[in-house]
Structures are given as C-alpha cells and as structure tokens.
A and B are shown apart, each in its own frame.
Chain A
C-alpha cells in the first residue's frame, strides 16, 4: 500500500496560492484590539465573541440544569424534606412545625418556567448557534471577521443584558415568571392570575425582547457574512455543512423572532395599556374584567410561529456540527452532501408551516389541523434522509472514537430516538391522548435538548483547540460522554412510559389522581439519574476551565487533519485570522481518502486530471 499524503506546508501554500486582500496594509484594523477591555470584554473579534457566548451559555446551562434537579427532587422525592436547600431558596421552602421543608408550588412552577426559558433561549440558541456561528463562519469561509464586527459585539451585549435582567428576576419577592416558557395569556397577562405574572413577567418580557434584538443583530450579520465575505473559490456549494446550517439557522431566526416580538408587544399592551388582544370573557379574583374581544389563541399562533422554527434554530447548528465532526473523524466525505444541504433547506422551509401542530388541542378549527399534520409529517422525510446519510458516512470509514466523535455518534442516536416519537405527536389523532403529557417532555428533551447538547459537546471537544490552543482531557471527556449518554436515556426513556400512562406534564404532585400516582419508583429513578447527569456536566465544566490553562498544548495547527479552512490559521488566533494572504479555495470540504491522499484541504489546488470530490 502506498504511503498516504498526510502533511501539507500550509504557510508556503497560502503564500503561494492565497488571495491577497491587502488586509494587513490597513493598520486601523488592529486598533481596537489593544488593551484588556477592548481585547477581552468589548471585543469586536469574532473569536472572542464566540468564547463570550460559549462561557455565558455555560453559566446559564449550570443554572438551568440546577433548577431542573431541584424540581426533579420534588417530583421524585415529594416526601423528603427540602429544608437543606432553604439557605439558597429562602421563603420558597416552607417549613412545617416538625422542620420538614416543602417546595412551594408557585416556585416549582417558576423553576419549570425558568428552566425552559433559559435552556431554549440562553443556552441552546445563544450558547450554541451564537458560539459556533461566530467562531466558524469567518474561519470556514475564509473571512477576516464578520461583516459588521460592531453589530456582532452589540449582539453579545444585548444577550448579556437580557441575561442580567432575567437573573435579577430570580430574586424578586414575588418570584420570577411561573406560567411556562410559552407564557400563554391570560395566565401571563393578568398579575391577579399568578404571583409570577406580576413583576416577574414584566422582566421576562423585557429580557426576551432584548434577546430578540440580540438574535436579529447576530443573524443579519451571519447572513451577510456568508453571502458576501466568502473567499476566492468558496462557492456556496463548497461550503462545509456547518456553514450551511448556521446560514439557514440565521435566516430562520431573522424571519421568526420578529413575529415573537410582535406577540410580546401585544402582551405588554394587554398587561399595561388596557388593551385586550388576548383577553375576553374573563372573571378573575372575584371581578369580571371589563376588557373583551380578544383571543388567547392569537398569542399561541404568534408564539409558535417563532416557537417551531426555534426548535430548528436549535437543532440545525447541532446537525451541521455533527455532520462535520462525523466526516472528519470517520476520515470520509459526508455522504450525500447535496442531499444534506437540500434537506437543511427543506427543513428550514417546512419549519415555517407546521407551527399549529403545537395547538391541535387548543381550540383551533380541527379542519385546519389536517394541513399541519401533513406538513409536519413531511418533515420526517428530510430528517430521515439526514440520519441515513450520517450512518452511511460511518460505513467504510476509519473511525477515531475520540470525545468529539463519540458525542457526534450520540447525537445521531438521540436524534433517531427523539425524532421517531415526533411521528406520534405530529399525527393529531394520537396527539389527542399524548398532548401535554410526559411523552411530549420525553420527545422534545431527547430530540432538541439532549441531541442539541450532544452536537454542542461534539463541537466544543472538536474546536476547543481552535478556541484555546489546547486540548480538553480525553479521559474526562470519555467519562463525560458515557455518563451523559447512559444518564440522558435513563432520565428521558422512562418518561415515555409515564406519558403513555397519561400523566400530564407540569404537575407539582401526582398524589391527587389515582391514574397518575403509581409511578413513584420511575420518578425516583429519573430524579437520581438527573442528579448524576448534572454532576457529570460539572465535570465537563471543570474539564473545560481546567484545560484552558492546563490542557495539553496544541503543537500542530491541524490536529484532526481536517480539510476546512479554520485549521489553516496559526495556533495563536490573531486578528484577521490569517497573517498574510487569505486562502483561496479549490475544492469542496470533504476530500478525505480521495486518491492517494489521506485528506486534501480546501486550499490545495486540483492536480491535473483530478475530478472534483462531490461528483
């Protein structure tokens, strides 16, 4: 067997073949990087902003996950005293004469609500797409930075401010908002309906409105950058799947978040200006509300017009990352690149016409549901194509099973498990029984919670050297993977059974109902699994921060022997990404084990007679 070509002299090739954009002749470019504040805090460099998004996301993930452990304790061990956590939660733990502490139901609902809001928006939207879009878009398309570094910086600080306001709301005497992450009115519109619907809800709305601004600023930037700043030779059809995923994600965000904002504005008006967009025929707190004429269902339409694309905003980046990681570590081209791109586009398009499948049981005309059932189940087709293509990418590979790759494989496993249960829920007839039960909780946690996290972890382990110039510990990474894979299934698999038994979600206690109270053992099991998985995530956080300073140093600029452009930049990230010319692209991103070369980076010119890999 002939020796495979495995090394390239990148600097020489770039100097020789690269595209000279005369970037380094303009010295104003480096000005804003001087000084600690401009370098690390109000930075306009996409690589710093990516790390800011990531670390803020990790902060919120710990808080959101810790909340879930607390409310899981209530569900798994309702009889046990929670007095030990009183120092942290204060008046929300109510002590009886014997000193037995119970979690107040109001705060249980506040925890559930905050868990959802934080994880969906702050962690899996900002933390995932914010991090990797920022890091990878300029690096993988061969750009010096984002189209507007300033808007990019603003995007992060709007997110940061949204976070500060949400964090502040946790400490209100009336508690944070507690009406569910979907914030359906009238519960969210009327302070008299729930203590959390007072100031807590006001801050929730302010925070998420700022968050929408952040997403829009980020999104417009990502789209512009992908469309305009691709380097010479980087046609759309040569972009890595990560970029396609981030690109479509940004479009989805740009089109759907403003609709959510409009819903928020109406809700704000209903709350404070005496309008009744969402209110009618209400008698509450001993008095009839004089405002009539609106309908709560309008809010649900506006919310889910964002809400459904939102789950694809979460999962598409994870799909892109998993595709890239699977291909690199299987040492094979991603199977069916064009089909993968088309399925991303199809999923993106379809995600806008399926929103009412969240509302089959909400009082919309049952006839309308027919269309939403059809469109919803059509999404299964591009999703299935993606799964088959990932599996085929593994076939015949030469697979390195490191932490990044394991999480990418885990992502596919989770996406299959959670995706298949979507076929039940998307069929409105079955949804009559399963709607708002634990089956739904199991479904969306596996398919867009755990799967998205697996994609994120795969991305972090894979691009950590790019971000910090060091590697994360493989041993800790593997403990983290196995614990999380087994633990996540241990948490969410039994929830299918509880849901099939008809147990509704968002119940503080199951004791009142004969039909729901006989799953104490399963609930205990789930809670224990959740606590263990939470600990394992702390191990990941430890690994993450420990490795920033103490991890194994990166000595070779392309440690994974990948073909994409980010690995052609120097180990020490510099402003403008490439010290000299930017690379010029000659091929697609997946030339692995083509001919006699183990891998061929995108900036390597085609040799004579060579056929493009994507043919």
Chain B
C-alpha cells in the first residue's frame, strides 16, 4: 500500500513537471522565441558562475571539516616509517592537482559565462596556436616527471625486500574465508614450511609440515603484536581465494594470492599507546566510544590499529578484522614468553606427531631448563627453608632403575644449579604408583633414587649434600585410578632440606 502511494506521488510529480515544462516552453514561444531564449541564456550563464563559486567553496570547507578524520591529516599521520614518505607525496600531489583543479574549473565556468551568446558579438575565429599548445603540453610534462620521479623513489624503497642477515621480525599472515591466521616464527626466528595438502581444519589449520623442525616453535596468536621501531617482514598467503592484507594506519597493503606468496616490509614507529595519546588532543576523539554509554571510555581510549581485507573475497569480505598492537620492546619480550607453540600445545604426542617416539625435543629441553632455573631460583630467594621440586624430565626404563638417556639434560641442569648454590642440602625422593607389589615398589623407588644420586655425583655434586630415599607408593600426588594419575605419581623429586 505504502509502495502504491509512493508510486502515485512520484507519478504525480512527473506529470506536474511535464506540464510545467510544457507551459514554460510555450510561454517562451509566446513571449517571442529570440528574446526569451537570450534571457534564459543569460540566466543559465549566471547560474554557472554561482555554481562554480559554491562548488569551490564547498570543496575547500568540507575538506577542512573532515581533515582530522582522514589518514595523513590531523592525528592520523602514518604510524610507519615508509608511511610518512607516502603521506608526503600524497600532499605534494594534492597541492599541485588542487591548484590545477581550481584554475581550470574557474576558467571553464567563467568563460562559459563571459562568452555567453550575444547577438551583437561575433565569435572569434581562433583555431590553433602552436605556442599555446606547446606551453600546455610542456607544463604537464614537467610536473608529471617531477611526480613520477619522486613517487618511484618512495615506491622502490618501500617495496624492497629485506637483505640477507638484516635484523627483522618475520611473521606470516594467511587469509581465508573469512579471517586471518597469524603465525610467528618462535625462538628460532624462522617460519616453518607448510603445504596446503596437509591442512586439517581441526588439527592443522595452516598445513604446517611437522617434520620441519622450524615448525616446532611456531605459534599463532589471536592478535598481531609487534615491537615499535623494529623492521617487520610479513609473508602474505591465502588458503582459498584472493584476499588483501591491509593495515590502514601503517600504509601497508598487499594481495594474498593462493599459490603465490607475497610480502610487505615495514617498520612501525608508534606504539598503540602513543597513538592514543596523540588522538587524545583532538575534540573529535574526546567523545564516548559507544554512543549509548556516555560514561564509558572515550574514542581515543578504545583506539586500536586494525588489520582488514581489501580484496573482494566473498560474502564475509567486510568482517576480516584483527587487532594490531604495537608495544615497547620490553612488553613485546614479555608477550613472547607467554605464547605457546602450536605444535607443543596441540600436536605433541598425538598420532600426527612425527616425533611422538622421541621423549624430549630440543625445544622442550630448552624450555624445561628455563622453567627449572626459575623454579629453583625462586625457591632459593624466598624466605621458606625447604621446598620440593619435581624433576619432570627424569625418566627410567619401565620396571627398572636404569636411567633413560634423555634424563641427563634435567640432571645436568640440576647439577649446575646446585653448583650455583653450594650451601643447599637436599634429598632425592623416588616415588612409584600403586601398580604391583608394594615392597617391590618400595625397593624400586629406593634404587631409582640411588641411581639419580649416583648420576649427580658423577656430575660433581658432593655426596655430603644429598640423601637418596625411596618412598614406594606411599606418597601419591594424584589418584592411582587413572593412567594420568599414575603417571604423575611415578616421579623423582628434589626436596630442599636446608639452604
């Protein structure tokens, strides 16, 4: 019904316009075609000039009005080193084209007005002028040459790949319908290889090849975190269709192409906090971020750098957002420590793990060393006299007291720590689960503890400082009803007696 009414109104307006036009055309015919035509011509010429003035004023005023919301202006200067150069040539081009724009529009509309039809004037026969034409071929040539040269210098510097050996953080972004996966290289600084045929949405979203050791420490955070003033190389991939890795505030943009890895190298120059501080000075950003919550945080406080997709990729194209955080180097290091490798969290020990037969991988040994050192040091520097450290990576062959080879890493670490703290006296306690005969368990635990003690002696730890004692199944830490519980109960502990 409403549609019908609207249609009716539009039809009525159309009829009215047609009738009015007819009347106006007829009226001009009655008044004498020639004079009324001339009068209309004068009127139109006048309005052309009015249009020109209003249009140019509108252009300038609206540009000033929106200045602070545009990248490159007000608070929105580039947050990357190459971005500043880009903004620079943008502005140079804006000034040059702005001048040309104003002059040509003025001439166009002014001539249309000034040379409007006049029965008493004869148009000038002016067909060509070689000098004039040379001048306005020459000027654009010079201006364009200037802009091209300037632009290409910036372009080639921006697009250059990193040189071998350059200090750079390598990360990888993979687009798919409709999100991004970000991968960091982990401690080795190298991104592991991947193959789209290995992709399994549940266990291996990127198709990482686990037999490549570089993959072991790679991790996939939910947001991009980068240290300020550090060069970053983003390797850009796609799993399905084209996407585009677009960081507006950093002037970074590059297509993600399936089968053709691309990259973009940039250096962020402002932390998220610095950027917020800059926004804070502008009234546009001193308003509540959420209109419905006037008491809530202001716009500048909720600002975040963002990653978006800028190549049409299907119906969810507009929703591929990720937050980018630029932080200080210290904060970045802290953040790195909190990240856990995708492989160790999700793949280690499962059926698809090619290293499932290896008890310990290099990275696990490294991580355990740090963990043990922290735990030991904290205990030493605390006020408590005694404490227990579980020697997680001490393993024995099943049912025997023979030490597995990989136990040496844990025990070497222990021996080194004990060297650092020579006043520590301790007990090595052996524990078993409740499977099998109780007395046999007790003697097994005693001989395992002895075995560890003798290994430590071999590493130079004095036997005066240590005792070895087997507790059998008497002191479980978990229930013995489950396999996991039993595994936790089979353990060797380092009990600090005095320090």
Decide: A361 and B158 in contact? CB cutoff 8 A: no
Decide: A363 and B260 in contact? CB cutoff 8 A: yes
Binary flags per residue of B294-313, CB closer than 8 Å to A gives 1, else 0: 00000000111010111111
Known: A282-B240, A332-B125, A395-B115. A427 touches B133 (CB 8 A): no
A519, B257: Cα distance in complex, Å: 30
- Which residues of chain A are within 8 angstroms of B158 by Cβ–Cβ distance? 429, 432
Decide: A332 and B124 in contact? CB cutoff 8 A: yes
Q: Shortest Cβ distance from A187 into chain B, in angstroms?
A: 4
Of B62, B76, B154, the contact of A494 (CB 8 Å cutoff)? B62
The interface stretch among A44-52, A212-220, A232-240, A291-299 is A291-299
Tell me the nearest residue of chain A to B59, going by C-beta. Answer: A493
| Listed A/B pairs (11) with beta-carbon separation below 8 Å | A193-B314, A295-B259, A296-B260, A330-B115, A335-B128, A401-B112, A412-B108, A433-B86, A433-B248, A512-B318, A615-B127
- Which residues of chain B are within 8 angstroms of A339 by Cβ–Cβ distance? 128, 133, 137
**From residue 137 to 155 of chain B, which have CB atoms closer than 8 A to chain A?**
137, 139-141, 144, 147-148, 151-152, 154-155
- Which residues of chain B are within 8 angstroms of A333 by Cβ–Cβ distance? 125-127
Known: A339-B128, A429-B85, A497-B62. A485 touches B51 (CB 8 A): yes
Decide: B311 and A436 in contact? CB cutoff 8 A: yes
A401, B73: Cα distance in complex, Å: 41
Known: A373-B151, A436-B310. A515 touches B258 (CB 8 A): no
Indicate if A269 sits at the interface (CB-CB under 8 A): no
Interface residues of B (CB under 8 A from A): 2-3, 10, 14, 17-18, 20-22, 24-25, 40-41, 44-45, 47-48, 51, 55, 58-59, 62-63, 66, 69-73, 76, 83, 85-86, 89-90, 93-94, 96-97, 100-101, 104-105, 107-109, 111-112, 115-118, 120-129, 132-133, 136-137, 139-141, 144, 147-148, 151-152, 154-156, 158-160, 176-177, 196-197, 199, 201, 207, 239-242, 244, 246, 248-249, 251-255, 257-260, 262, 302-304, 306, 308-319, 321
**From residue 1 to 21 of chain A, which have CB atoms closer than 8 A to chain B?**
1, 4
Decide: A391 and B107 in contact? CB cutoff 8 A: yes
A475, B40: Cα distance in complex, Å: 10
A373, B197: Cα distance in complex, Å: 38
Decide: A385 and B321 in contact? CB cutoff 8 A: no
Decide: A514 and B312 in contact? CB cutoff 8 A: no
A394, B86: Cα distance in complex, Å: 38
- Which residues of chain B are within 8 angstroms of A353 by Cβ–Cβ distance? none
- Which residues of chain A are within 8 angstroms of B259 by Cβ–Cβ distance? 279-282, 292, 294-296
**From residue 134 to 184 of chain A, which have CB atoms closer than 8 A to chain B?**
178-180, 184
Known: A424-B90, A435-B253. A514 touches B25 (CB 8 A): no
Of A389, A478, A502, A510, the contact of B71 (CB 8 Å cutoff)? A502
Tell me the nearest residue of chain B to A509, going by C-beta. Answer: B318
A516, B152: Cα distance in complex, Å: 29
Decide: B201 and A286 in contact? CB cutoff 8 A: yes
Residue in A388, A433, A514 whose Cβ sees the most chain B Cβ within 10 Å: A433
Known: A423-B93, A512-B318, A546-B18. A385 touches B136 (CB 8 A): yes
**From residue 580 to 608 of chain A, which have CB atoms closer than 8 A to chain B?**
590, 592-594
**From residue 415 to 462 of chain A, which have CB atoms closer than 8 A to chain B?**
416-417, 420-421, 423-424, 427-430, 432-433, 435-437
- Which residues of chain B are within 8 angstroms of A262 by Cβ–Cβ distance? none
The interface stretch among A23-31, A376-384, A567-575 is A376-384
Decide: A400 and B117 in contact? CB cutoff 8 A: yes
Tell me the nearest residue of chain A to B137, going by C-beta. Answer: A385
Q: A296-B258, A427-B147, A515-B249 are in contact. List 8 more A-B contacts (CB 8 A).
A: A105-B316, A337-B127, A381-B137, A388-B104, A436-B310, A475-B20, A479-B17, A518-B69
Indicate if A542 sits at the interface (CB-CB under 8 A): yes
Tell me the nearest residue of chain B to A343, going by C-beta. Answer: B137
A385, B313: Cα distance in complex, Å: 40
**From residue 354 to 405 of chain A, which have CB atoms closer than 8 A to chain B?**
361-363, 366-367, 369-370, 373-374, 377-378, 380-381, 384-385, 387-392, 394-401
Decide: A363 and B310 in contact? CB cutoff 8 A: no
Decide: A193 and B126 in contact? CB cutoff 8 A: no
Decide: B112 and A374 in contact? CB cutoff 8 A: no
Binary flags per residue of A272-291, CB closer than 8 Å to B gives 1, else 0: 00000001111110101000
Decide: A506 and B312 in contact? CB cutoff 8 A: yes
Of B58, B128, B152, B207, the contact of A429 (CB 8 Å cutoff)? B152
A79, B125: Cα distance in complex, Å: 59
Of A282, A380, A389, A398, the contact of B123 (CB 8 Å cutoff)? A398
- Which residues of chain A are within 8 angstroms of B315 by Cβ–Cβ distance? 105-106, 109, 178, 194-195, 508
Decide: A284 and B317 in contact? CB cutoff 8 A: no
- Which residues of chain B are within 8 angstroms of A292 by Cβ–Cβ distance? 259
Decide: B304 and A109 in contact? CB cutoff 8 A: no
Indicate if A33 sits at the interface (CB-CB under 8 A): no
A333, B124: Cα distance in complex, Å: 9
A489, B58: Cα distance in complex, Å: 10
A280, B112: Cα distance in complex, Å: 57
- Which residues of chain A are within 8 angstroms of B83 by Cβ–Cβ distance? 433
Known: A283-B199, A288-B197, A433-B71. A392 touches B314 (CB 8 A): no
Residue in A106, A421, A504 whose Cβ sees the most chain B Cβ within 10 Å: A504
Tell me the nearest residue of chain B to A378, going by C-beta. Answer: B144
- Which residues of chain B are within 8 angstroms of A105 by Cβ–Cβ distance? 315-316, 318
A413, B59: Cα distance in complex, Å: 14
Residue in B133, B160, B262 whose Cβ sees the most chain A Cβ within 10 Å: B133
A370, B159: Cα distance in complex, Å: 11
- Please provide the 6 A-B residue pairs with the shortest distance between their CB atoms, ordered closest to farther: A280-B259, A502-B248, A396-B124, A366-B159, A475-B21, A427-B151
Known: A363-B262, A430-B93, A546-B18. A187 touches B314 (CB 8 A): yes
Decide: A590 and B127 in contact? CB cutoff 8 A: yes
Indicate if A565 sits at the interface (CB-CB under 8 A): no
A543, B257: Cα distance in complex, Å: 49
- Which residues of chain B are within 8 angstroms of A592 by Cβ–Cβ distance? 123, 125
- Which residues of chain B are within 8 angstroms of A281 by Cβ–Cβ distance? 196, 258-259
Decide: B199 and A288 in contact? CB cutoff 8 A: yes
- Which residues of chain A are within 8 angstroms of B240 by Cβ–Cβ distance? 186, 190, 193, 282-284
Indicate if A84 sits at the interface (CB-CB under 8 A): yes
Decide: B310 and A504 in contact? CB cutoff 8 A: yes
A295, B260: Cα distance in complex, Å: 7
- Which residues of chain B are within 8 angstroms of A593 by Cβ–Cβ distance? 122-125
Of A335, A362, A394, the contact of B115 (CB 8 Å cutoff)? A394
Decide: A395 and B126 in contact? CB cutoff 8 A: yes
Of A331, A384, A409, A590, the contact of B140 (CB 8 Å cutoff)? A384
Decide: B105 and A413 in contact? CB cutoff 8 A: yes
- Which residues of chain A are within 8 angstroms of B251 by Cβ–Cβ distance? 432-433
- Which residues of chain A are within 8 angstroms of B304 by Cβ–Cβ distance? 514
Decide: A361 and B254 in contact? CB cutoff 8 A: yes
Decide: A190 and B241 in contact? CB cutoff 8 A: yes
Indicate if A95 sits at the interface (CB-CB under 8 A): no
Decide: B101 and A417 in contact? CB cutoff 8 A: yes
Q: Shortest Cβ distance from A418 into chain B, in angstroms?
A: 11
Decide: A395 and B111 in contact? CB cutoff 8 A: yes
Decide: A335 and B126 in contact? CB cutoff 8 A: yes
- Which residues of chain B are within 8 angstroms of A502 by Cβ–Cβ distance? 71, 248-249
- Which residues of chain B are within 8 angstroms of A518 by Cβ–Cβ distance? 69
A563, B55: Cα distance in complex, Å: 35
- Which residues of chain B are within 8 angstroms of A501 by Cβ–Cβ distance? 66, 69-71, 76
A504, B307: Cα distance in complex, Å: 12
Binary flags per residue of A513-527, CB closer than 8 Å to B gives 1, else 0: 111101100100000
Decide: A429 and B154 in contact? CB cutoff 8 A: yes
Decide: B112 and A394 in contact? CB cutoff 8 A: yes
Known: A380-B144, A423-B147, A478-B44. A391 touches B111 (CB 8 A): yes
A427, B151: Cα distance in complex, Å: 6
Binary flags per residue of A532-569, CB closer than 8 Å to B gives 1, else 0: 00010011001100100000100000000000000000
- Which residues of chain A are within 8 angstroms of B246 by Cβ–Cβ distance? 436, 504
Decide: A399 and B116 in contact? CB cutoff 8 A: yes
Q: Shortest Cβ distance from B352 into chain A, in angstroms?
A: 16
